[in-house]
Amino acid sequence: MQIYKVGGAVRDRLLGRPVSDVDWLVVGATVEQMQAQGFRPVGADFPVFLHPHTGEEYALARTERKSGRGYGGFTFHASPDVTLEDDLIRRDLTINAMAEDEQGTLYDPYHGKRDLDQRLLRHVSPAFAEDPLRVLRVARFAARYAPLGFKVADETLALMRQIGESGELQALTAERSWKEIERALMESEPQVFIEVLRSCGALEHLMPELAQGADTLAALHQAAQRQQALPVRWACLLRGLEPAAIKALNQRFKAPRECQELAVLVGEFAERADQALAMAPANLLEMLQKFDVYRRPQRFEDFIAACEMAALGPGYPQGEYLRGAAEAARAVDVKPLVEQGLTGQALGEALKGERLKALEAYTAG
Ligand code: CTP
């Protein structure tokens, strides 16, 4: 059997980027031979194994045949007669379809090195279409490697367009799609992910709410440059959409709760935050109550960050002002009210009254 390093590890080494995990490809072996050498199978019907000592992934060379619609509609053919070229041709991009043997010799039958040098994301073969998730992967790689000058090849964009039109993107599971979206949002140029999806028409199928909606990409870019957390980036992207559209996107991709919540709150309150300096104390209080700034201070911070990213200017004085207001409301002590014998709803009302007074003082000062 021959063992090759494949995929991202080869690509990133050639790009001079840090290699996080290494995938190995085994040619000329059977499942039984792998097990006899102590490799542990990862799943029942998937020809991938973990190395007994390093824990790295070793996959048997395989060809893949589409047997149905949607994810799960795959059958795998792995056998010792599947060659390196057979395996590599069914991978997504030429830059991901290179292999290196144990002596460090590069195997590059589909010219991945040339495309790396030309900064091109190009599909290897029509087999690209076997997995529609690759449309999102390509857009994600475009976002990741944009600072290096990478572009998607025209013929690959055309194929991505066809996949979108085939309806296959809607058949992807929420979990697989979200994983790509999340990784793309955390790249340094996440707006490129959306731009690429838009340019091949895929955005219309994946996120129609965003396809002709408000332009929020500058805010998203800013959020990445300022290294904001995932929920802030997601909220920046969805800002300006109607509440129903935000909800639909949240649910379609089963976004994590923190992302969902922040996107909804930004949708509802961002405009008011922009006007914070002119806000009446009662409206400020209503907003702070809605955010539950007393128990969820970080969520309010993330909200302010998302508003600040969209402001795009050098400063956002509203942010400091809102922080100050939250502090003033939070500083109200509940103890004297309890000592007066107040409980339940009466205590709640009294506390609100005291907070309002504190905000009146804050806004007056
Ligand atoms: N691959 C593919 N199609 C997919 C997923 C993976 O062709 N839908 C192939 C590519 O050759 C890829 C390799 O499997 O390089 C490993 O996949 P993965 O670990 O997901 O990605 P990496 O290329 O290692 O990239 P990343 O740095 O994003 O992990």
Ligand 1 atom at minimum distance from 92 CA: 7
CB 147 within 8 A of CB 187: no
The Å distance, Cα 7 to ligand 1 centre, comes to 6
What are 145's two structure tokens? 């490697």
User: Which residue ranges have their beta carbon within 6 Å of ligand 1?
Assistant: 7-8, 23, 91-92, 96-97, 131, 133-134, 137
Residue 45 has a pLDDT of 67
Smallest CA separation from ligand 1 atom 26, residue:
8
CA separation, residue 269 to residues 51, 234, 275, 291 (Å): 51, 16, 10, 10
Annotated binding-site positions: 8, 11, 21, 23, 91, 137, 140
pLDDT in tens, the chain (365 residues): 999 999 999 999 999 999 988 999 999 999 999 999 999 998 766 789 999 999 999 999 998 755 455 445 556 778 899 999 999 999 999 999 999 999 999 999 999 999 999 999 999 999 999 999 999 999 999 999 999 999 999 999 999 999 999 999 999 999 999 999 999 999 999 999 999 999 999 999 999 999 876 688 999 999 999 999 999 999 999 998 999 999 999 999 999 999 999 999 999 999 999 999 999 999 999 999 999 999 999 999 999 999 999 987 778 999 999 999 999 999 999 999 999 999 999 999 999 999 999 999 999 98
Mutate to test the pocket of ligand 1, among 6, 15, 91, 180 (most ligand atoms within 8 A of CB): 91
The Å distance, Cα 8 to ligand 1 centre, comes to 6
Phi and psi based region of residue 227 (left: phi greater than 0; alpha: psi -120 to 50; beta: remaining): left
Smallest CA separation from ligand 1 atom 25, residue:
8
Beta strands 120-121; 151-152: pairing state: parallel
Residue 71 has a pLDDT of 47
Q: What are phi and psi for residue 293, nearest 5 degrees?
A: -65, -15
CB 323 within 8 A of CB 362: no
Residue 213 has a pLDDT of 61
The Å distance, Cα 120 to ligand 1 centre, comes to 16
* Distance of alpha carbon 41 from alpha carbon 224, whole angstroms: 38
The Å distance, Cα 216 to ligand 1 centre, comes to 29
Mutate to test the pocket of ligand 1, among 17, 85, 96, 138 (most ligand atoms within 8 A of CB): 96
Ligand 1 atom at minimum distance from 144 CA: 28
The Å distance, Cα 121 to ligand 1 centre, comes to 13
pTM exceeds cut of 0.95: no
Q: Which residues 6+ apart lie within 8 Å of 15 measured at CB?
A: 116, 145, 148
Smallest CA separation from ligand 1 atom 12, residue:
7
Annotated binding-site positions for Mg(2+): 21, 23
Smallest CA separation from ligand 1 atom 27, residue:
8
The Å distance, Cα 128 to ligand 1 centre, comes to 12
